[in-house]
């Protein structure tokens, strides 16, 4: 009995430490840009195991220095309901489950991770499909939605997301693939970058396959309909369009 109580006590302490630590970590990142992420370190370790230097090419920029065309393309490609959900898109989740039930045997699986969930996974957790990781991802997603603005979530996302071997964030990706800063990406380039996101290690936006090219065209059409809802400064005319 005493041993059981001791286990419960230590488990309670561990849980309390985790809750307080995770809340403080998310709160700190509301203002502090994460200098490195678990995924970056994991890719470095994977490269070292195979005697291959991957490196970390990341150049943090404020959201105002990222082309709105890229923000629209990313939202259109990864999370069409970004501005209307609280971290989990239930409609996308239902559609993904229905799709996977029909196509899982063929290996064609779709996810339903929102931009917030992807940011939580990249900044605070690790990659993988375990239930433990998914549960923790939901916890950090809820904290981010509660403590961060949509603007901050989008800013962190476009600065930490993996965009190729050793390439992280919009600025590094824009220079790597198109030799321009993220602020000068045109709609086609933005759509190609967004199209590569589900598999950034195998898709090259600068040399798109027919599949990637077609996916980018679909994303560009959808991106034209995305309203950024005040996450970037707008002229009076654009502000009207963004809040309709």
Place 31 in a pLDDT band, splitting at 50, 70 and 90.
very high
Buried b (16+ CB within 10 A) or exposed e, 219-237: bbebbeebebeebbebeee
Q: Which helix (H) or strand (E) holds 163?
A: strand 162-164
Are 3 and 119 in the same domain? no
Check pLDDT > 80 for residue 154.
yes
Are 203 and 233 in the same domain? yes
Ramachandran sector of residue 21 (left: φ over 0; alpha: ψ -120 to 50; beta: rest): alpha
Check pLDDT > 50 for residue 241.
no
pLDDT computed for residue 167 by the predictor: 95
Phi then psi for residue 55, to 5 deg, are 80, 175
Look over the chain and give the mean of its residue pLDDT values, rounded to a whole number. Answer: 86
Residue tagged 């800063």 (tokens): 181
64 contact partners, CB below 8 Å, separation of at least 6: 232, 233
Place 172 in a pLDDT band, splitting at 50, 70 and 90.
very high
CATH code, domain with 98: 1.10.3810.10
Are 9 and 56 in the same domain? no
Are 12 and 57 in the same domain? no
Check pLDDT > 50 for residue 22.
yes
Spatial separation of the C-alpha atoms in residues 8 and 103, rounded to whole Å: 43
pLDDT computed for residue 107 by the predictor: 58
Domain count, the chain: 2
Are 120 and 135 in the same domain? yes
Among 20-24, 76-80, 140-144, 239-243, the least confident range: 239-243
Print the domain residue range for 219. Answer: 33-242
Q: What is the rounded average pLDDT of the residues 179-194?
A: 96
pLDDT computed for residue 96 by the predictor: 63
Which structure tokens are listed for 200?
A: 């950034």
More confident residue, 9 or 197: 197
Are 14 and 131 in the same domain? no
Spatial separation of the C-alpha atoms in residues 229 and 49, rounded to whole Å: 44
Are 22 and 71 in the same domain? no
Among 7-16, 77-86, 176-185, 227-236, the least confident range: 227-236
Are 16 and 75 in the same domain? no
Check pLDDT > 70 for residue 34.
yes
């Amino acid at each position: 009995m005493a041993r059981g109580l001791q286990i419960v006590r230590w488990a309670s302490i561990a849980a309390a430490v985790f809750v307080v630590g995770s809340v403080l970590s998310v709160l700190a990142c509301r203002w502090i840009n994460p200098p490195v992420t678990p995924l970056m370190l994991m890719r470095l370790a994977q490269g070292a195991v195979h005697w291959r230097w991957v490196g970390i090419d990341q150049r943090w920029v404020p959201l105002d220095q990222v082309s709105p065309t890229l923000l629209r393309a990313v939202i259109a490609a990864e999370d069409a309901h970004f501005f209307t959900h609280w971290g989990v898109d239930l409609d996308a989740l239902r559609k993904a489950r229905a799709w996977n039930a029909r196509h899982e045997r063929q290996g064609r699986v779709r996810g339903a991770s929102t931009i917030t969930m992807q940011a939580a996974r990249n900044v605070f957790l690790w990659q993988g499909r375990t239930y433990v990781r998914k549960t923790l991802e939901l916890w950090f997603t809820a904290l981010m939605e509660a403590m961060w603005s949509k603007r901050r979530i989008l800013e962190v996302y476009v600065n930490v997301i993996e965009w190729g071997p050793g390439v992280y964030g919009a600025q590094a990706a824009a220079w790597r693939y198109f030799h321009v800063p993220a602020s000068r990406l045109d709609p086609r380039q933005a759509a190609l970058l967004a199209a590569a996101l589900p598999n950034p290690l195998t898709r090259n936006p600068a040399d798109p396959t027919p599949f990637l090219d077609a996916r980018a065209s679909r994303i560009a059409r959808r991106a034209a309909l995305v309203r950024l809802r005040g996450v970037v400064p707008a002229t009076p005319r654009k502000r009207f369009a963004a809040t309709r």
